[in-house]
Amino acid sequence: MPELPEVETVVRTLEALITGCSFNDVHIHTPSIINHNESFVSLVINRPLQSFKRRGKYILLGLDESTLVIHLRMEGRFFINHEFSRPNKHVHVSFKLNDGRVLHYQDTRKFGRMLITQDVNHTLSHLGLEFDDPHFTVEYLFGALKNKKTTLKAFLLSQSIICGLGNIYTDEVCFRARLHPEKNVGTLTMNEVKAIHREIKLVLSEAIALGGSSIRTYTNAMGIDGLFQLQLQVHMRAKQPCIACGHLIEKTSVANRGTYICKHCQKR
Stretch in the footprint of DNA (CB under 7 A) among 131-139, 152-160, 204-212, 219-227:
152-160
Binding of DNA by 167 (CB under 7 A) = yes
Catalytically annotated residue among 86, 201, 251, 257:
257
Binding of DNA by 71 (CB under 7 A) = yes
Member of 94, 151, 220, 266 binding DNA (CB under 7 A): 151
Give first-to-last CA distance, the chain, whole Å: 28
Binding of DNA by 74 (CB under 7 A) = yes
Kindly state the number of chain residues that form the binding site for DNA, as judged by CB under 7 A.
30
Helices 190-209 and 167-176: crossing angle, nearest 10°? 130
Binding of DNA by 53 (CB under 7 A) = no
Whether 83 sits among the annotated catalytic residues: the reply is no
Closest approach, Cβ 61 to DNA, in A, equals: 17
What's the per-residue H, E or C state across the chain?
CCCHHHHHHHHHHHHHHHCCCEEEEEEECCHHHECCCCCHHHHHECCECCEEEEECCEEEEECCCCEEEEECCCCCEEEEECCCCCCCCCEEEEEEECCCCEEEEECCCCCCEEEEECCHHHHCCCCCECCCCCCCCHHHHHHHHCCCCCEHHHHHHCCCCECCCCHHHHHHHHHHCCCCCCCEHHHCCHHHHHHHHHHHHHHHHHHHHCCCCCCCCCCCHHHCCCCHHHHCCCCCCCCCECCCCCCECEEEEECCEEEEECCCCCCC
* Parallel/antiparallel/unpaired status of strands 250-254 and 102-106: unpaired
By beta-carbon proximity to DNA, the closer residue of 42 and 252 is 252
Instruction: Read off the amino acid at residue 10.
Output: V
By beta-carbon proximity to DNA, the closer residue of 126 and 267 is 126
Report 199-218 residues binding DNA (CB under 7 A): none
By beta-carbon proximity to DNA, the closer residue of 197 and 235 is 235
Report 110-139 residues binding DNA (CB under 7 A): 110-111, 126
Closest approach, Cβ 175 to DNA, in A, equals: 15
Whether 257 sits among the annotated catalytic residues: the reply is yes
Catalytically annotated residue among 54, 57, 153, 176:
57
Stretch in the footprint of DNA (CB under 7 A) among 79-87, 198-206, 239-247, 249-257:
249-257
Binding of DNA by 3 (CB under 7 A) = yes
Stretch in the footprint of DNA (CB under 7 A) among 42-50, 143-151, 187-195, 238-246:
143-151
Of the candidates 119, 95, 87, 115, the one whose C-alpha atom is nearest the C-alpha of residue 24 is: 95
Q: CA-CA distance, 255 to 158, in Å (whole number)?
A: 10
Report 80-109 residues binding DNA (CB under 7 A): 89-90, 108-109
Closest approach, Cβ 3 to DNA, in A, equals: 7
Binding of DNA by 143 (CB under 7 A) = no
Member of 76, 166, 211, 226 binding DNA (CB under 7 A): 166
Instruction: Read off the amino acid at residue 175.
Output: F
Catalytically annotated residue among 3, 6, 192, 199:
3
- The residues assigned a catalytic role are 2-3, 57, 257
